[in-house]
């Protein structure tokens, strides 16, 4: 049997790993995740690159969670001939229905807009890439097979698999795959993305006791997060101060996971008497959909979250939580002169309704902008974090007089300490450990720490395209 890495090797996005082997003379091929490359100039090229395998020969895909960098190229794989099942947790199916269709919509819209401009002579260069259509994304969704955490399934004779909770986002899983190769049984464990221990929204990642082959993520393999307690303190201070001065608080956040975590955190702070009655507007159709979906899968959340939710159901008037329905209502929020908390996507402030809020709120010194996630270079979010006095929003120069805060402790990923804690759950060193899903520096540093602290020997940081016998 061998494994080949086609993404998330020396980088964070594009998770897709091919496993190939033979059972009783029958060859098999399957993928763990099939994600999109995101950000960076060459992401398009990587997404479009010719495949060194025939998609029709892939027997099945095991999907660890819904994030686009793990699921985003599935419709393309299906359109190219993959006909097998895609295994995932029920909540992941519900989430990718939203995420993949949205991704396809955006691609189609961008293309059509560019094409219209081209006809008018207003478009230079190549038209934007469409990796798949809405129709193809819809067709791919019919290949999904759902299994709950702990439920064993048998994709092909000789391979048994099950999911464990990764505590990262709703439906996120660690994949445990047992392959009966001739006389040898090999256990492959793929961590997927691992959540933080002690996070409010999600339960702790399940510990796994044994693996022959381990794939572990390393997004924050070289960093430590601030504690949730510190984050709460920061939020309480910012909100109390801003409210006292009669300002608004604008919080850009990722629609899936982060928005729900912030809502729960705010409600829990009201519940504990740390904050007064709040007026919260959630202004993002995707965040609204993801929040309603989270309510449907409450039992998958951390017990603490379930308690906060139950309290809120009995004390609905303690927090005025509104989901903004349409663009008109969204624009009306710009007329609120104080006392509002506006949570909106996208996370990096580049598109969507958040842009309007960042057009109207920054010039006012009593307002506050609270950044809650990673902001890539070159984005409006990053310029705000870097405290630029002027930023360009919707083609206009805006002066930033509002205070800008960065809340560091909300992360859907375990930090170095969390990752090590998870690795210590293994009773003995796995035969081979592949460090994936981290930028080169993070992956290499984390590999060194594992060798040093856990005394594990076979720790490998693969590069894209690398193939290893296992």
Q: Which residues bind Zn ion (CB under 5 A)?
A: 67, 193
In the DSSP assignment, the letter for residue 300 is: G
Instruction: Using DSSP bridges, classify how beta strands 432-436 and 459-460 pair: parallel, antiparallel or unpaired.
Output: parallel
The nearest distance, CB 129 to Zn ion, in angstroms, is 23
The nearest distance, CB 40 to Zn ion, in angstroms, is 17
Distance of CA 469 to the CA centre of its chain: 30
The nearest distance, CB 391 to Zn ion, in angstroms, is 28
Please enumerate in sequence order all residues whose Cβ is within 8 A of that of 425, keeping only pairs 6 or more positions apart, or say none.
Answer: 207, 208, 209
428 HSE (CA, 13 A, CB side): 2
Pair of tokens at residue 276:
């007064």
Which C-beta is closer to Zn ion: that of 193 or that of 300? 193
The nearest distance, CB 212 to Zn ion, in angstroms, is 25
Please enumerate in sequence order all residues whose Cβ is within 8 A of that of 286, keeping only pairs 6 or more positions apart, or say none.
Answer: 98, 102, 255, 256, 345
Which C-beta is closer to Zn ion: that of 92 or that of 344? 92
The nearest distance, CB 194 to Zn ion, in angstroms, is 9
Q: Is the CA virtual torsion 347, 353, 355, 359 positive or negative?
A: negative
What's the Cα-to-Cα distance from 154 to each of 128, 198, 334, 450, rounded to whole Å? 40, 33, 54, 32
Which C-beta is closer to Zn ion: that of 13 or that of 445? 13
The nearest distance, CB 49 to Zn ion, in angstroms, is 22
Contact 175, 432 (CB under 8 A): no
Which C-beta is closer to Zn ion: that of 219 or that of 416? 219
Contact 144, 88 (CB under 8 A): yes
Which C-beta is closer to Zn ion: that of 40 or that of 363? 40
The nearest distance, CB 3 to Zn ion, in angstroms, is 20
Distance of CA 369 to the CA centre of its chain: 22
Which C-beta is closer to Zn ion: that of 202 or that of 358? 202
- First CA to last CA across the chain, in angstroms? 6
The nearest distance, CB 174 to Zn ion, in angstroms, is 12
**Among candidate residues 42, 160, 35, the one with its CA nearest the CA of residue 100:** 35
From CA 273, how far away is CA 267, in angstroms rounded?
A: 10
Contact 252, 344 (CB under 8 A): yes
Which C-beta is closer to Zn ion: that of 254 or that of 281? 254
Which C-beta is closer to Zn ion: that of 67 or that of 356? 67
């Amino acid at each position: 049997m061998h494994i080949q890495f086609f993404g998330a090797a020396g980088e964070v996005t594009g998770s897709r790993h091919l496993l190939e082997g033979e059972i009783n003379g029958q060859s098999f091929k399957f993928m763990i995740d099939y994600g999109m490359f995101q950000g960076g100039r060459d992401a398009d090229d990587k997404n479009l690159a010719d495949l060194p395998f025939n998609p029709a020969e892939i027997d099945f895909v095991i999907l660890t969670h819904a994030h686009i960098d793990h699921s985003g190229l599935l419709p393309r794989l299906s359109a190219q001939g993959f006909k097998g099942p895609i295994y995932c947790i029920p909540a992941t199916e519900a989430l990718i229905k939203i995420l993949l269709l949205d991704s396809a919509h955006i691609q189609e819209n961008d293309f059509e807009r560019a094409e219209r401009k081209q006809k008018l002579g207003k478009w230079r260069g190549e038209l934007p890439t469409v990796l798949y259509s809405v129709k193809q994304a819809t067709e791919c969704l019919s290949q999904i097979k759902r299994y709950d955490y702990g439920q064993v399934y048998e994709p092909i004779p000789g391979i048994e698999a099950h999911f464990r909770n990764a505590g990262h986002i709703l439906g996120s899983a660690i994949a445990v795959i047992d392959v009966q190769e001739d006389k040898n049984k090999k256990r492959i464990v793929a961590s997927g993305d691992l959540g933080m221990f002690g996070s409010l929204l999600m339960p702790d990642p399940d510990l796994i006791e044994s693996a022959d082959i381990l794939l572990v993520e390393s997004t924050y393999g070289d960093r430590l997060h601030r504690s949730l307690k510190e984050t709460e303190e920061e939020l309480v201070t910012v909100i109390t101060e801003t409210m006292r001065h009669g300002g608004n608080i604008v919080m850009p956040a990722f629609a899936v996971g982060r928005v729900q975590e912030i809502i729960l955190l705010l409600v829990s702070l009201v519940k504990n008497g740390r904050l007064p009655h709040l007026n919260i507007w959630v202004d993002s159709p995707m965040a609204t959909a993801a929040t309603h979906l989270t309510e449907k899968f409450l039992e998958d959340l951390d017990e603490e979250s379930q308690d906060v939710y139950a309290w809120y159901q009995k004390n609905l008037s303690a927090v005025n939580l509104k989901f903004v329905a349409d663009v008109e209502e969204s624009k009306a929020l710009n007329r609120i002169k104080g006392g509002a908390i506006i949570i909106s996507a996208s996370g990096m402030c580049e598109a969507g309704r958040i842009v309007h809020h960042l057009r109207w709120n920054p010039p006012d010194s009593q307002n506050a902008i609270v950044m809650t996630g990673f902001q890539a270079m070159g984005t409006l979010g990053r310029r705000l974090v870097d405290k630029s006095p002027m930023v360009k929003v919707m083609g206009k120069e805006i002066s930033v007089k509002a205070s800008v805060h960065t809340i560091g402790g909300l992360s859907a990923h375990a930090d170095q300490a969390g990752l090590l804690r998870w690795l210590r759950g293994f009773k003995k060193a796995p035969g081979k450990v592949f460090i994936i899903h981290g930028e080169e520096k993070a992956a290499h540093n984390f590999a060194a720490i594992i060798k040093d602290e856990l005394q594990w020997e076979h720790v490998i940081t693969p590069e894209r395209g690398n193939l290893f016998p296992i």
